[in-house]
Structure 1
């Protein structure tokens, strides 16, 4: 992005703004995952810690948490974590779960209960049936920027309009609405559009704003001056501009990126030297529809040129456009890292880290099937979920349950899914998913018509994959055992039908009994000071010995005999674990091997914490905090 020259420079840049966040969440049953009207108990409990920052929302199935206004990204992260932690704990004590999603995933119990407060009851009467529509439980994330006068807030709102579809796109988190897959990244705007005044804010000066609000109230369009639902509005009770564009999201880092980038954009646009291209109302509304429909995969007008460009290009360009402002607040490095991580996951809300519930919020889960496999006892922390967006050849997004202790679908899974989407597969092809985790790869293959067997050492992972298959009505056989334990059952291991399980796998497995047309694996590959695999715990999903090849070498020896003639192995690993060694070993085992995809991404929390050790042992250069993900494809001729 580039900006044209403006008026002569002023003596000094605009003053630094503070910022704060309001997050709305749903309350759901611990087993049914259907919304429950428990807000009174949750808000009363959380208020002991948060005070008035724990708030009621319009419906009794919703709560809101507000941060204090702060000056730095570090302070905002701490505020978000504390607020979420207090609400999570209060929800647990009330016998429910806190859920971060723009719309309810499963069918709610109608009629919905309106919060019994006078203003909310008058509001429900004013909007009539909209209060109980399908998908009425709408949850968003609102960012306050201040301190600003009314004149400044209106001017900033007008200059910021063209950028808001981009923010909407990367925060989209409501593809499901009361049991229906709507085929969009965010259905919340379509549901919210039935409320008066929802949509882009008009361009108004201070007198025009006051006149417009007086007319809306006098005509009965809105109940009071607080009933404005523009994407950006001057707050009626705070000296701020409130940006209301984002869906509620479980991933704290996505919300942090939203808030930090919005403030940087505000700092940039408050500078009179920056000229912008106004986006007319009709193309602006079309851009918002595109953002809601496709999320990160949308093409939106560049606010500075008007040309249609992919969101995945516009977002890094926005970071560079606001780089001077981010340097001023010492947040440029953080924003670049968060942006790289977001774009590698291929989803608006990455899976939350189960080991640190205060920094994450649970997402919706599916109803319990009649006879699920019995999972082992786990920590009672709330379960999480993630949305995996289908790559080319795989239809639509998938909601995947992911309880604490199960490896989530992240950037490496997304890259492997992209390659899988391009792989030609015949109907009924036999597929083996080694180390299935939450089942993202297995279910993507099942959607392509494969007969899939998923293997994992973790019984909790197998239970999760089984439940995800049941949720999506996909055939899947799950097997407990060693990473390369094939199915020893006397019947076809991947016969189509209901999701089934078998815990009787032997340690060695009859490798010669079955041959697979496709083997998928996202194995542990993170180098670790530990010489062997962790005996237990979540680190088993990523730790792989000092060179990162503890599991990779075994796969290179044991997978080739499992492939049928013409069978394909797709395996993802990090550049730190020597992809050249994988290619060399697979070729020595008789596979025609190539690198199918590469993607550079920033270090996540585990790699960042281990970076000093990586530097000491020579795995990375000093100061490097990126890795290249590599998908290796091997074919048995």
Structure 2
């Protein structure tokens, strides 16, 4: 739930627009495989290596890693590797593993233990028992877009792509040892909140802010200045932030999703600059489409952002690639995105991988394999 991203430098065109990434992880005990409330200790230890690029998170069993602004996929990959390595090493030093899953596979009964940050405590007080099982780990991508008015208009074009983003990142089928039947249970947990999910369609920045203030007035939103919609002009930094995705196991998938989202923002920003207001899909339609994406993930069919009809997700992959192709080619990222969709076609989403591991060894095997996948190629060392 952190909203931090370092201040980006000025961009020099579509292919060089800076991007930044935030990844949230669970900490797990290697013996019990339960999540462990050691976030502050692990974050403090990792900070010795990478400074402010790591932090605590909402739940005490979580930590967050983040990158500085990056202009290329290679630069982003290098920072992600460095930050993940620091968190993996810090977790191991505390006798724990680092786990990239949208929800905890195993955890003790009872309410989630929350960090002492005043905003987290305020959320607990406002939403009460809705927060009892709110331990979720996300991938957030920031794309440099300092014009907040333009960011709102760009978000209008991104709104109907949110279901596809949920589908391709689905990585949370389990919670507290049970298979939920969903590919992204994290998305379901978020959907209970009236202030989470796709943002409302807004005709201007003033309209966007008025909607947030009205919702905050009902106490359904904690702070009108810091809405937690899936898309938002970041409250403190000159970026459009995309928040719909589960954290991903594979670092290469994270890089590919980030550069895809940069290209999506660049393409949509171009339409917004030309005065195209974007498709005004009702929030109810998008929430329904997000629900199906959370249930099915990267299989079967999904929501077509243009027609609203269901289409095979493989066709939606082709559609988003075609829409973003010019920006991807300009940035040299088309290969990253093509490879991502190839991996999804071959092995499925993160939820499919977790279920395959469970079939071979149960919940403990899922946790063990997630810890190895999070650490990357050197995960079996140390």
Q: TM-score range by the shorter chain?
A: 0.7 to 0.9
Structure 1 window deviating more from structure 2 (140-149 vs 222-231): it is 222-231
What is aligned with 2:90?
A: 90
What CA distance in whole angstroms lies between the structure 1 residues aligned with 2:258 and 2:126? 32
User: Using the alignment, how far apart are the partners of 1:99 and 1:349 within structure 2?
Assistant: 14
Partner of 1:26: 26
Counterparts in 2 of 1:336 and 1:470: CA distance versus 1, 3 Å: closer
For 2:197, the equivalent position in structure 1 comes to 199
Aligned 1:406-425 pairs, distance under 5 A:
none
- Asked whether 1:304 is paired with 2:309, we answer no
Q: How many residues align?
A: 352
Tell me, in whole angstroms, the C-alpha distance in 1 between the residues paired with 2:30 and 2:225: 34
Does the aligned pair in 1 maintain the 2:19–2:258 contact within 8 Å?
Answer: yes
Q: For 1:274 and 1:198, locate their aligned partners in 2 and report how far apart those are by CA, in whole Å.
A: 27
Paired with 1:75 and 1:127, the residues of 2 have a C-alpha distance of: 39
Q: What is the CA distance between 1:50 and its match in structure 2? A: 2.0
8 Å contact kept, 1:250–1:349: no
- 1:469 Cα deviation (Å)? 9.8
Partner of 1:314: 316
- Residues 177 and 468 (structure 1 numbering): CA distance in 2 closer, same or farther, change over 3 Å? closer
Work out whether residues 24 and 63 of structure 1, in 8 Å CA contact, stay in contact via their aligned partners in 2: yes
SS at match of 1:271: helix
Equivalent of 1:341 in 323, 340, 343: 343
**Please, which of 329, 332, 355 is the counterpart of residue 331 of structure 2?**
329
Q: Distance in 1 between matches of 2:365 and 2:15?
A: 51
Partner deviation per Cα, 1:23-67 (whole Å, 9 max, x = no partner): 111111111110111011101011112212211111111111111
- How many Å apart are 1:227 and its aligned residue? 4.7
8 Å CA contact 1:268, 1:322 repeated in 2: yes
User: Is the 1:197–1:230 contact (alpha carbons within 8 Å) kept by the matching residues of 2?
Assistant: yes
Structure showing the higher helix proportion among its residues? 2
Task: Please name the residue that 2:380 is paired with.
Answer: none
Counterpart Cα distance in 2 of 1:226 and 1:89: 36
Tell me the secondary structure at the aligned position of residue 22 of structure 2: strand
The answer for the alignment partner of 1:291 in structure 2 is: 293
Name the one with the larger strand percent. Answer: 1
Q: 1:44 to 1:324 in 2, by over 3 A?
A: same
Counterpart of 1:461 in structure 2 is none
Tell me, yes or no, if the aligned pair for 1:35 and 1:109 is still in contact at 8 Å.
Answer: no
| 1:18–1:147 Cα contact (<8 Å) kept | no
Question: 1:137-152 counterparts in 2 under 5 A?
Answer: 137-152=135-150
Residues 345, 95 of structure 1: CA spacing in aligned structure 2 closer, same or farther, 3 A cutoff? same
Alpha-carbon displacement from aligned partner over 1:441-471 (angstroms, at most 9, x marks no partner): xx5xxxxxxxxxxxxxxxxxxxxx5x44997
CA deviation after TM superposition for structure 1 residue 79, in Å: 1.2
List gaps (5 residues or longer) in structure 2: 1-11, 367-376, 378-382
For residues 380-414 of structure 1, give each alpha carbon's deviation from its aligned partner in whole angstroms, at most 9, with x where no partner exists: xxxxxx42xxxxxxxxx3444xxxxxxxxxxxxxx
Alignment partner of 1:118 is 2:118: yes
Please name the residue that 2:7 is paired with.
none
Equivalent-residue separation in structure 1 for 2:94 and 2:81 (angstroms): 20
Seen in structure 2, the aligned counterparts of structure 1 residues 193 and 302 have a Cα distance that, compared at 3 Å, is closer
- Give the superposition deviation at 1:250: 1.2
Q: Does 1:41 align with 2:41?
A: yes
- Deviation of 1:109 after TM superposition, in Å, equals 4.1
Offset of residue 153 of structure 1? 1.3
Inter-CA distance 471–345: structure 2 relative to 1 (3 Å threshold) = closer
TM-score by length of structure 1 reads 0.52
- Asked if 2 retains the 8 angstrom alpha-carbon contact of 1:14 and 1:271, the reply is no
Structure ID, larger Rg: 1
In structure 2, do the counterparts of structure 1 residues 301 and 215 end up closer, same or farther at CA, with 3 Å as the change threshold?
closer
CA contact (8 A) 2:257 2:337 kept: no
With over 3 angstroms needed to count, the CA separation of the structure-2 counterparts of 1:471 and 1:140, relative to structure 1, is: closer
Structure 1 residues 469 and 105: alpha-carbon distance in aligned structure 2, compared to 1, 3 A threshold:
closer
Q: Secondary structure at the match of 1:300?
A: strand
Measured in 2, the distance between the counterparts of 1:67 and 1:125 equals 31
Please say if residues 103 and 174 of structure 1, whose CA atoms lie closer than 8 Å, have aligned partners that are also in contact: yes
Change (3 A) 1:269 1:471: closer
Contact between 1:277 and 1:305, CA under 8 Å: does it hold in 2? no
Task: In structure 1, list runs of 5 or more residues that go unmatched.
Answer: 1-11, 351-385, 388-396, 401-442, 444-464, 473-604, 606-637
Task: Provide the aligned C-alpha RMSD in A.
Answer: 2.4
CA offsets 1:443-502 (integer angstroms, 9 cap, x no match) = 5xxxxxxxxxxxxxxxxxxxxx5x449979xxxxxxxxxxxxxxxxxxxxxxxxxxxxxx
1:36 is paired with a residue of what secondary structure? coil
Corresponding residue of 1:228: 227
Partners in 1 of 2:364 and 2:210 — Cα distance?
Answer: 55
Residue equivalent to 1:107: 107
1:560-575 alignment, distance < 5 Å: none
Which of 143, 159, 162 is the aligned partner of 1:161? 159
Other-structure match for 1:593: none
Counterpart Cα distance in 2 of 1:248 and 1:15: 25
SS of aligned partner of 1:245: strand
- Partner of residue 179, structure 1: 177
Which secondary structure does the structure 2 equivalent of 1:161 belong to? Answer: helix
- How much has 1:122 moved relative to structure 2? 2.1
Q: How does 1:342-421 map to 2 (within 5 A)?
A: 342-348=344-350, 386-387=353-354, 397-400=355-358
- In the superposition, the TM-score normalised over structure 2's length comes to 0.85
Q: CA deviation at 1:316?
A: 2.6
Q: Which is further off, 85-94 or 225-234?
A: 225-234
SS at match of 2:297: helix
Q: What is the CA-CA distance between 1:335 and the residue it aligns to?
A: 1.9
Cα contact 2:100–2:249 (8 A) shared by 1: yes
Give the Cα–Cα distance (whole angstroms) in 2 for the partners of residues 226 and 313 of structure 1. Answer: 37
| Contact 1:13/1:271, CA 8 A, preserved across alignment | no
Identify if the C-alpha distance between structure 1 residues 95 and 213 changes in structure 2 by more than 3 Å, giving closer, same or farther.
Answer: same
